[in-house]
Chain A
Amino acid sequence: MSATSRAQTAANPVVRWLGKDNHGWLLIGYVILLVAVVWTVLPLYWVMISSLKPDADFYKMQDILWPSTFTIQHYVDMIFHSGFPINLRNSLVVALATTVVSTIVGSMAGYALVRLRFGGRKVFGRLLIYSYLAPGSILFIPIFGMMVALHLTNSLFGLGLTYLTFTVPFCTWMMMGYMQTVPVELEEAALVDGANRWTTLWRIVLPLTVPALVVVSVFSFTLSWNEFLYALVLVQNQSVMTAPVGLAFLQAGDVFFWGKIMAASIIMSVPPMVLYLFGQKWLVSGWTLGSVKG
């Protein structure tokens, strides 16, 4: 399949399987999309509205869809009168660290697997895939046991380590896929000119893989930021908690402070949303490199 035809399809994605003049089907298509969008956006609208409703409104059976008064009290409470900012900071630290580490480690390992020949290469490749596919439910109990033994519970470092279990295989795999598309000739030219492999990796190959690096970073950050299970299992200390778990602790027994929970939800959704909106272009094109190749 040539690169040009793929580019052509992407730029002009007319799937004529619907027929050129089939306006009837087109209309149905629009309707379905509209329904899908409403279904997608309605919960988000609900979060937004609920976060701006005063507490008293939550016990009235009126003004449910559109509050009569708006308030930012919940946001004020969450930002200034709670431990949530600390949780946000913790999430940020872990997510950034994990992203940086796994991007570097993944690039290195991906390059080695794609360009270099060494014994055990295929075995390592296989182990890599198994790691990528390893079900998290099997790992969380033994990892918990290990972290307790290593005194790494209630620590961001320990948490970051566990996140590497899913970010590193993923990053390696993605970088591998993308690096394969970098023409070998460029490196060979550099090698003939006297550069060594290490230099070609950092100076030639990596700069050409920027789209993949963006995808990998966005994915790693988002996965780490959103992660819940390990954060719940490994950290009980409130000042070390990450945002997802901090959110879960906003209920006092049976009472849910929905206004606060919704406000906190919005706040903690901002970073991944920003990353998503910002990196959209790359994400869609980089999707083919990952788990499923087109």
Chain B
Amino acid sequence: MSTIPAAQREATVLFQKSRNRDWQLGYLLILPAAVVIVGLIAYPFLYSIWMSLQVIRVGGVGRFVWFQNYASLLYGFNSGRFWNSVLVTVEYTVTAELGKFLIGIITALILHHSLKARGLFRTLLFIPWAVPAVVSAYTWRWMFDDRLGLWNTLLLGAGVIQSPVLWLSNIDLALWSVVAATVWQGTPFWTMTYLAGLQSIPSEIYEAAHVDGASSWQSFWSITMPNMVSVIIVTFMLSSIWTSNNLQYVYILTNGGPVNATETFPLLAYTIGMRDYNLGLAAAVPLLFFPVFAILIHFLSGRLLREGFEQ
């Protein structure tokens, strides 16, 4: 031990002392966050499962019925409405995601190029993100109004249609109208994310490819797209989770109508829980969707953790 210099010995001791202090401080620092995560996320999740196994009303005592709620939703009394909400949710989410993806990537690609007034375009195009969803929902509701709404006014005035389009009351049209509002508000998030992804691809690669004689198309497919694949996949998954959980648009634009044509599963859960006061059944609805989310979450968390935990 005498061959080890004193400073090094002291450093080792300091290191070990700080290691122990690390533990104490570590737990102290994560304590508030841990309280939120355990108390307001983990516990409610488990509580939700517990509730779904009972028939329980607001503030009342629950009666255990085991899997009756699930049976009712899957093939029993409520199955018609449940499977309808599955279909509606899938249609809604897939269409909205595709719309946001296409518009987002095209816009991001254009914005990434050095155009004049890029900054102005960017500022304007990202505004819907900052607008409260309620506001955009009401705005679109008003725009879709049969008699005085913006769209019908413009279309009728331009002679494109002869009679007002029933954007929100036509069974075949209602869902797509809701999708339009969702896409309007949600696209900026995608555009921003793609733009950030594009900006992280170093320009030297493009210049090198250009020197080597690659055409624009070739550069796009062999440089831009591969680098963006991970961004696209992660955004797609994240956005799908968030969009499918969206309640504002269906609630405000159509309230699930006409005839449940726009009733996504969160709205179904809300209606069952808050209007029919059947909390147990309401809790079971989103839980039936959980397996799908679990797969997405598992994949996403693996990805995010890998990138986040470099140590």
Contacts and interface: CB of A to CB of B under 8 A. Distances in A.
B25 interface: yes
Contact of B33 (A138, A172, A226, A233): A172
B196 A287 contact: yes
A210 to B, nearest CB: 19
B286 A108 contact: no
B196 A292 contact: yes
A161 B127 contact: no
Contacts of B235: 291-292
A83 B207 CA distance: 60
B196 A112 contact: no
Interface in B80-139: 103, 106-107, 109-115, 121-136, 138-139
A90 interface: no
A229 B245 CA distance: 11
Contacts, number: 357
B21 A196 contact: yes
Given A33-B110, A129-B301, A139-B48, A40 B252 contact: no
Contacts of B121: 33, 37
Contact of B112 (A13, A47, A109): A13
The A interface, classified by DSSP as helix, strand, loop or mixed, is: helix
Contacts of A134: 41, 45, 297
Nearest to A57: B148
B74 interface: no
B125 A137 contact: no
A124 B38 CA distance: 10
A82 interface: no
B153 interface: yes
A136 B245 CA distance: 6
B130, B219, B282, most chain A CB atoms within 10 A: B130
Interface string B233-258: 01100100100110110001000000
A52 interface: no
B241 A228 contact: no
A15 B22 contact: no
A15 B198 contact: yes
A269 B135 contact: yes
B58 to A, nearest CB: 6
A104, A113, A177, most chain B CB atoms within 10 A: A113
A201 B80 CA distance: 56
A134 B297 CA distance: 8
Interface in A119-168: 119, 121-122, 124-131, 133-146, 148-149, 161-162, 164-165, 168
A291 B220 contact: no
Interface residues of A, number: 122
Contact of A142 (B51, B123, B131, B201): B51
Contacts of B223: 17
Interface in A19-69: 19, 22, 26, 29-30, 32-33, 36-37, 39-44, 46-47, 50, 58, 61, 64-65
B300 interface: yes
A75 interface: no
Contact of A164 (B36, B43, B115, B134): B36
A145 B51 contact: yes
A273 B129 CA distance: 9
Contact of B134 (A9, A58, A133, A244): A244
A65 B201 contact: no
Contact of B48 (A30, A133, A141): A141
Nearest to A29: B110
B128, B199, B238, B274, most chain A CB atoms within 10 A: B199
Given A149-B59, A293-B307, 19 more contacts: A16-B216, A33-B121, A39-B184, A65-B153, A105-B33, A128-B37, A130-B297, A131-B41, A133-B297, A134-B45, A135-B293, A136-B266, A137-B247, A265-B138, A265-B139, A280-B123, A283-B192, A284-B122, A284-B195
Interface of B: 18-19, 21-23, 25-27, 29-30, 32-34, 36-37, 40-45, 47-48, 51, 56, 58-59, 103, 106-107, 109-115, 121-136, 138-140, 142-143, 147-148, 150, 153-154, 184, 192-193, 195-204, 206-207, 210, 215-217, 219-220, 223-224, 231, 234-235, 238, 241, 244-245, 247-248, 252, 265-266, 269-270, 273-274, 279, 282-283, 286-287, 289-290, 293, 296-297, 300-301, 304-305, 307-311
